[in-house]
């Protein structure tokens, strides 16, 4: 069982609340502006993410979601 964290760049307003609560220091603000005119957050160190979901909980814009990734190695074989 693995998990995938995704950030909806178009919803993010770059407030940085998620960055402050991330215990693993995974997140940083991007230097590229999004369509809303904000600098959205991105996973600078994705491998450090342990999917604790504190960032999701703190985000006022529901821009961060974590989904379960179905392990399909058997299908590949």
Partner 1 sequence: MPKTFKKPEALSDQKTHYCPGCTHGVIHRLVAEVIDELGVRGRTVGIAPVGCAVLAYNYFTFDFLEAAHGRAPAMATGIKRVRPDLIVFTYQGDGDLASIGMGEIIHAANRGEKFTTIFVNNAVYGMTGGQMAPTTMPHQRTTTSPFGRDVADVGMPVKMAELLSALQTPGYITRQTVIKPKHIVRAKKAIKQAFTYQLEGKCFSLVEVVSTCPVNWGMTPLDAIKWTEETLLPYYQLGDVKTPEN
Note the residues at the interface with partner 1 (CB under 8 A).
3, 10-11, 13-17, 20-21, 36, 38, 50-54, 56-62, 64-68
Q: Are 30 and 10 in contact (CB under 8 A)?
A: no
Q: Nearer Cβ to partner 1, position 1 or 75?
A: 1
Q: Given the complex with partner 1, which of 2 and 76 has the nearer CB atom? A: 2
Residue 44 per-residue DSSP state: S
DSSP 45: S
Nearer to partner 1, 49 or 77 (CB): 49
Instruction: Output the smallest distance, CB 41 to partner 1, in A.
Output: 11
Q: In whole angstroms, what is the distance from residue 65 CA to residue 75 CA?
A: 26
Distance CA 13, CA 39 (A): 7
User: Nearest approach, Cβ of 40 to partner 1 (angstroms)?
Assistant: 10
């Amino acid at each position: 069982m693995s998990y995938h964290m995704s950030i909806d760049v178009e919803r993010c307003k770059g407030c940085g609340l998620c960055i402050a609560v991330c215990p693993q220091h995974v997140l940083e603000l991007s230097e590229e502006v999004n369509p809303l005119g904000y600098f959205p957050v991105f996973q600078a160190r994705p491998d450090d993410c342990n999917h604790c979901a504190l960032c999701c909980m703190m985000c006022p814009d529901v821009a961060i979601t974590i989904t379960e990734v179905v392990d399909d190695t058997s299908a590949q074989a």
